[in-house]
Structure formats: structure tokens, C-alpha cells
Structure 1
């Protein structure tokens, strides 16, 4: 028989990566649509569509399979972190002047990078995954 604290501690050690990765997927979806909603133009819109799609897809995969699944568990969060940094750098690379899309990329890219590093930390320390489904109700 398990106690409430056993269930809470097993939940705490199993849920951080999916929650962090799920939030990164939502931010990736925002990056995907930001060029349309913020009426961007030029290559930055194409970049945001491609990068946002990859971030959202990999982050959703990481949230669904925190132990890695077919990919190594570090692969998804590492690529997401790199793409988050690229999202921050993209406005400078494409010569976008300060504006709403510029700041959207800076904030969303930084948020994705921080969330991916948090997910990487959970994978490396083992605090975000659990091999057994014990404690599920």
C-alpha cells in the first residue's frame, strides 16, 4: 500500500520533463505562427515556420516520451536548445529592425532555450524520468 507522500514524490520525479517539454512545444507553435500573426515579411517568416515546426515537433515528442523512445533522451532537448538560440539570433542574421516580430523572436527563443536546458538538466540528473509506472493513480 502506498502513501500519499509516496505518490507525490514519484509524481514529482516523473513529471518535470514532460511539463517543460510541453511548454516548449507551445512556444514552438507560437514561433511557427508568429510571422503570420505579427505580419512579418521576408526570410524571417520562412525561418520561423521551419524552426517553429521542428521545435514544436521535437518538444511534443520529448513530452510524450521523456525516456527517449526511439531517439536518445538527450537528442530532442539538445536540438531544441540549439534552435532556441538560433531563434534569438535569427532577427540579427536576417537584418530585422526592432519591432514586434523582433522581440517575439528574442523572447520566445530565449524561453525555448531555457526550457530545453531545464529538460536537459532533468535528463542528465535523472530527476525527470522514471522507469517504473509506480505511483500512478
Structure 2
């Protein structure tokens, strides 16, 4: 009933849109679950419970003012997420570049140098076998 209320669609038209979805079997199975309910007159009616992804798939096919507002908001959110990911990747690349440049120019002086003997001088050797 959320789709009906949110988009001003009639229940039968929402069910028709659901019936006409041409998604893969796996997508349908994972995101839509047919159910029944008893309406105010005591009649058994069809309904479909859906995940967020199912909801998006269904309403992307709708037209009208509410549907266009939803699509615009969805696109804006997607673009914001893409920009955030790109910025995060750029920050990561800059950090990696700075670390590489530091190593190349003698950075990481806080680490002790490993002696030529690999740090084994004065250590007791143990053999396993």
C-alpha cells in the first residue's frame, strides 16, 4: 500500500506494473514476495511485499510528478555517492603516492635498518625437525 499512497496509483495498476516487470527470475525471487490480505469488505486481495531494490525497480517504470521527483532524487543520490567514492579514491591515491615518494627519497627513518646478517648476530639458532 505504500506504493499506492506514495505515487497516487490505484492498487490494481500497481499490481499490473508488478506483473509486467521483466526482471530475471533471481531478482524477482529475491526482491518480491506475493501475499494476500483481507480488504474492508472481507474479500481476499493480492498484494506484493518487496525489498527496497524491488521498490526501486517497480517505481522506475512509473510516470507522473511523484515518480519524476523520485527518479530525480535517486539520480542525485547516486551522483553524490559516485562523487564521494571518486574523492575517496583520489585521497587514497594521493596517500599512496606520498608514501611511495617518502620511501624513494629515504623516508621511513623511524624503522631501524636491518643489519647485513639479517639481525641474526647474537641470536640463538633453533632447528626444527
TM-score normalised by the chain length of structure 1: 0.30
TM-score normalised by the chain length of structure 2: 0.31
The structure in which a higher percent of residues are strand is 2
The structure in which a higher percent of residues are helix is 1
Higher RCO structure, 1 or 2 (CA under 8 Å, sep 6+): 1
